[in-house]
Amino acid sequence: MHDHAHGERLRANRRTLAAALALVLAFAAVEVVVGVLAESLALLADAGHMLADAGSLALALFAVWAADRPPTPERTFGYYRAEILAALANGVALVAISIWIFVEAARRLDEPGDPAGLAILVVGAAGLLVNLGVAAVMHGGRQGSLNVQAAFRHVVADALASIGVIAAAVLVLAAGWKGADPAVAIAIGLLVLLSSWSVLRDSLSILLEMTPRGIDAREVGGAMAAADGVVDVHDLHIWTITSGFPALSAHVLCRPEADCHGVRRDLEHLLDEQFGIAHTTLQVDHAPAAQASVELGTPYRRRTPLGRH
């Protein structure tokens, strides 16, 4: 029953993301065409941002597909890390787009050109409506899915960029300030660069197998060492398989009289309930009765001497 519900949720997320991706790609193409014809860098910058969002949506769609693929003897974790490699490539592309926006904006601040304010206003307003429509499509699907929720945040950011395009068009039409177009483009470029930072940071953190953000390894180790029957916890490693999939491995020594299997089950429950780590590999052994835990050289050990409760 659980597997059926999980499969239904994945299929619903796939439909939601596919519809959002189609809308974003279609309108990004419109912005590129009108941006070139209207000589609007703000529209081209927003198109670049929407293409970046399309990349994020495509990654989210790929993640849903990967989550539904069974592991194989050659790929025991399936295709989870392919999502992270694609995210890294997406982050590098975002940096390249932002650099192009900054260079082109600097040139146009000296030579603003003749941006067509009315065309920019119409397309900017349509872009805002498209982004609000995409957000509405994704709103329900983001509940219970971190993957869709992350893509939803990108769409909201693009809606803000569309508001910037509208502001540039109003300034061109009302005040005749042609420099408003490249000025807004710089602001959008900063938004794109900010998006690239979070993507690069998270993907590199996962590829370097760093402790996931929001999890304190010292707190986890201390909680495990304080569990009933546990004397010592060492070789503790916490990393992320893919976004939203933390994993843990550790060597645990328990009291000579303790039930190793019971201790392992208790620790698995603790890690899942208290820290949200459901994928764990624990090697649990009995500690030698004559050996003090301090000799094991671990930072996670009980303060009480071995053999005392």
pLDDT score for 4: 45
Residue 255 belongs to a domain? yes
- DSSP for 172-222 reads HHHH--TTHHHHHHHHHHHHHHHHHHHHHHHHHHHHTTPPPTT--HHHHHH
Q: Please answer whether residues 192 and 253 qualify as being in contact, where contact means their C-beta atoms are separated by less than 8 angstroms.
A: no
Residue 178 and residue 272 in one domain = no
Domain match, 101 and 194 both? yes
The β-bridge relationship of strands 279-286 and 230-242 is unpaired
Q: What is the mean pLDDT of residues 255-272?
A: 94
Confidence of residue 295 (pLDDT cuts 50, 70, 90): very low
Cα separation values, 115 from 132, 185, 308, Å:
26, 13, 80
- Asked whether the predicted pLDDT for residue 236 surpasses 70, the reply is yes
Same-domain pairing of 295 and 178: no
Rg (CA), the chain: 26
> Domain check: are 284 and 159 in the same one?
no
DSSP 8-state symbol, 293: G
Does 200 share its domain with 241? Answer: no
The answer to whether residue 309 is domain-embedded is no
Q: Which whole number is the average pLDDT over 175-204? A: 83
Do 197 and 80 lie in one domain? The reply is yes
What are the pLDDT digits (tens) for 38-47? Answer: 888 888 888 8
pLDDT of residue 302: 58
Place of tokens 């999502």: 83
Give a yes or no: residue 9 inside a domain: yes
Cα 175 to chain center, whole Å?
Answer: 40
Q: Calculate mean pLDDT across residues 293-307.
A: 49
Share of the chain above pLDDT 90, in %: 22
**Domain with 264 in it:** 217-301
pLDDT band at 296 (very low <50, low <70, confident <90, very high): very low
